[in-house]
Each structure stands twice: as structure tokens, then as C-alpha cells.
Amino acid sequence: MTAYPLGFEVSCDGPDEQTDCPDSAAIPIRFGSMTARQVRADGREDGWTRRRRSGHLADLCPGCTPA
């Protein structure tokens, strides 16, 4: 039996540090996207953003971006 990595899941970090994403959103992976960078690029096509929050990078879905 051989195991292969299935890639990465990138989920929303919520509208702020204390609140989880109300939709428990995750970026839908495209066929062929195997690295975290590729999956985040897929998310940007769907309106996801990435911004700094308290020294860390936060991935935000379209629902949490305006908050």
C-alpha cells in the first residue's frame, strides 16, 4: 500500500482574534493544488484575503473580510 499526501486545507481565521468564522469556511481545493501557497491562490480567486493580525497572517473568507 502506498500513501500520497492529499494537499492542504486552508480555513478561515474568523472576523477577529476572539471569534471563529461563523460559516466554518474552508477554501475549496482545485484539482492539482497541492501546496498551501497554491490553495491560498485558489482562495484569492474566490474573494479570500490574507492580512496581518497580531504578528500572524490570517486567512479570511469573503464573509469575514469586511468585518
List, in sequence order, the alpha helices (H) in the chain: 36-45
Number of compact structural domains in the chain: 1
Report how far residue 13's alpha carbon sits from residue 19's, in angstroms, rounded to the nearest whole number: 8
CB atoms within 10 A of CB 14: 22
Identify whether 44 is part of a domain: yes
- The per-residue pLDDT for range 19-38, each reduced to its tens digit, is 999 988 888 777 778 888 99
Mean model confidence pLDDT for the chain:
87
What is the domain range of residue 64? 11-67
Identify whether 23 is part of a domain: yes
Does the pLDDT value for residue 58 go beyond 90?
Answer: yes
pLDDT of residue 67: 58
Identify whether 55 is part of a domain: yes
Identify whether 25 is part of a domain: yes
Does the pLDDT value for residue 54 go beyond 80?
Answer: yes
Q: Name every residue whose Cβ is closer than 8 Å to that of residue 67 and which is 6 or more positions away in sequence.
A: 15, 16
For residue 62, with 0-12 CB atoms within 10 Å meaning exposed, 13-18 middle and 19 or more buried, which class applies? middle
